Every structure is written in structure tokens, then in C-alpha cells.
Amino acid sequence: MHGLLEQFVAELPERAQAIRRALEQSDFETLLRLAHQLKGSAGGYGFPTITDAARQLEEAARTTRELSAIDREVKQMIDLCRRATAEAPESNEDRPMRSNR
């Protein structure tokens, strides 16, 4: 499980940039899909704050086409992904995981 968690965290920057690109291209279908996928996977890996941010982004993308509102949600989610990546433990399985996700 540790390896899967490391892979999830390592992929967060790429996921965040894909969401940013979808917003920049006003591709709401892709934005919804990516937010939905992140919501599920973050929840499964124990990142409730990222799950909540992805849920809020998904809701904003579904209910409004106001780019500034969606942009705020994207920025918040990207910030959470960056923090999770920065706080991820090194690839040392003996080192305990941080619990403040």
C-alpha cells in the first residue's frame, strides 16, 4: 500500500496541471471528469482535504461557467496538492507517515 500511496502523491502535480489546462481551455467536460477522479482517489488514499476541494471544484464546474469562481476552486485544489506533495515522506518505508493531510 505504501508504494501506491507514494505513486498517488507523486502524480498529484501532473493531475493538478491537467485540471489547470482544462480550465484554461474552458474544457468543462474534462475538468469535471478530472475533478471527479481526484475526488475519489484522494478519498481512497486518505486525503480528505483534497477530496473536499475536488468535490467543490466539481460542483462549481457543474453549476456555473463563471471562470473566476472555478479558478478559485482550482487554485485551492492545486495548493492542497502541492502541500501534500511537499509533505510526503521520503521513500523510506521505515519512516512514519505524517497524519496531517
Nearest to 45 by CA among 9, 85, 17: 9
Task: Tell me if 84 sits within 8 A of 101, measured CB to CB.
Answer: yes
CB 13 within 8 A of CB 67: no
User: Vertex 26, ends 44 and 35: CA angle to 5°?
Assistant: 5
**Per-residue confidence of the chain (101 residues) as pLDDT tens digits?**
778 889 999 999 999 999 999 999 999 999 999 999 999 999 999 999 999 999 999 999 888 878 888 999 999 989 999 998 888 765 444 434 444 44
Domain boundaries in the chain? 2-87
| Stretch (H or E) spanning 94 | none
pLDDT at residue 90, rounded to an integer: 58
Q: What is the pLDDT of residue 29?
A: 93
Query: What is the CATH T-level fold of the domain 2-87, as seen in this structure?
Result: Four Helix Bundle (Hemerythrin (Met), subunit A) (1.20.120)
